[in-house]
Structure 1
C-alpha cells in the first residue's frame, strides 16, 4: 500500500464522521473493511458514498491492515514535514513509518587533488586508491567551475578510475576531472548537476540503452554542456562486442536518434555492426 498525504487526509475525514465518494478509496483492503462492516456504503440515486461505522473500529482495523495507519495524525505530520528516520523513531518508536532515504547523495572520486567546499568549508577530494568519498549533504557541495564532472554509470568503473586514466587522458585531455556516480539510483546527482555550471561528461555502456539514459535522464536536463564520452577506438571494440544484448535492445530502441553528431555516429556504428560494448572493457588489468 502506498501511503500518501491524500490517503491519510481521506482516512482522517472518515474517522471524523465525514462521508467520502465510493470512488475516493479503492483496493482490496477497502473491500475488506466494507465486508466486515467497518465501512458502510450508502447510495444516493446514482451516487454512492462510504462512512465509518465508528472511529474506534476504523482505527483498530486500519492498524491490522498496515501498522503505519495506526497513527493517522502523526503520519500526516510526518508526510508534511518529510521528517527523518530519527525524528520518526523519537515520535512513534518506529523509524519505518515512511520510506525516507537514510543516505541521500552520491559518491565522488578523483585521481588528483581537487579543492572543493562542503558547508562552506574546504574539502579536498583525493581519495586513496581503493576508496572514494560520499557526499550526503550534496546541497552544500561546491566545486571549481573549471572542473569537468564525469558521471560513471558502472560502479566497477567508478571504483577503478586509475586503471582507466589512459582513456580519460585521451578522451578528455588537459581537463581536471571529478568523477561521480548516481549510486544509489536517485535524482540527487542530476539535481545537483542542474545547480552548477560545469561541463558534464557521461561515461556509460556503448549500447542503445546507455545512450537512451544519457539523452533522457541527463542531456535533456543539462543541455549543451552535456556530452557522451566516445573513445577513439570504440568502433574496433564494438566489432567484437555483444550481439546478444544488441538484439535484446533493438526492438525497444531501434528508432533512437540524436541531433548530437558524434552520438548519432555512435548509434549508426551500433546498427552497422549489430553489436554493443560494455564500459568495463576499458578497465586495464594492471596499473
Structure 2
C-alpha cells in the first residue's frame, strides 16, 4: 500500500494575515506547527491579485523548508500551485518566475483565473496541451516534479500522460459536493476509474479541494493515491481543535 502524504495549504492563514497590517498570523510560524505536527508538506497557491499568499511568502517558505531539510533531514515537500500562464503584474513576478527562483519539490499547474473564487475545474488538454508542453519541459529541466490539476475524466487523463508529467491532482470538488447524496457512488466511481487509469499509465495521483474529516476516509481508498492537499477545511477545523490536533486528525485518516 502506498503511503499517503498530507500537504497543508496555508492560503487561509495568509488570507487572515492580509486583513490587517503586519505579519500576524505568521505564515512561517504556522508552517512550522504543521510540519512539527506531522504534515508531509506545505502547499501554497500564489495568485497575481495577491488575495492571500504573496511572493515573499513563497520565498520565505522555500528558505524555511530548505533549512529544515538540511538541519533535520526531514523529507518535507514544498508544493507551489497556480496558473502557469500568470504573468508579471505589479509585485507579482509571474508564476513561472516564482518557480524558477524557488525550485520547489513539486509544481501543480492549475487553470485558475482572478475571476474564480477558488479553483473549480481541471485543464481541458484538448485546448491547452500545446501551450503546456514547453512549460512542463522547462519545469522538469529544473528538477521540479510536475502535477496537472485534472477533472476525473479518463480521456483527459490519457492526454495528461502524453505530456510527460509525473502526477495529476484530481479536483475533488464534485466528490465533496456529492457527499451525503444519492449521486455519491456514481461520482466516486469516476474518481476510482480515473485514478486506476492514471496509475496504469504511470502517473502518480494527488487530490485536493473540499476534502475534510468526513469525506477523506472514503476518498483515500482510490487506487494509488499518493498525496492530498488540504487547506480550507483543515484551517476551519483548527479553529475548534487547534492546528496541531487538526493536522494529526487528517494524518490519522490517511495512515489508518
TM-score higher than 0.5: no
The structure with more radius of gyration: 1
| Structure with more relative contact order (C-alpha pairs < 8 Å, separation 6 or more) | 2
Superposition TM-score, scaled by structure 1 size: 0.28
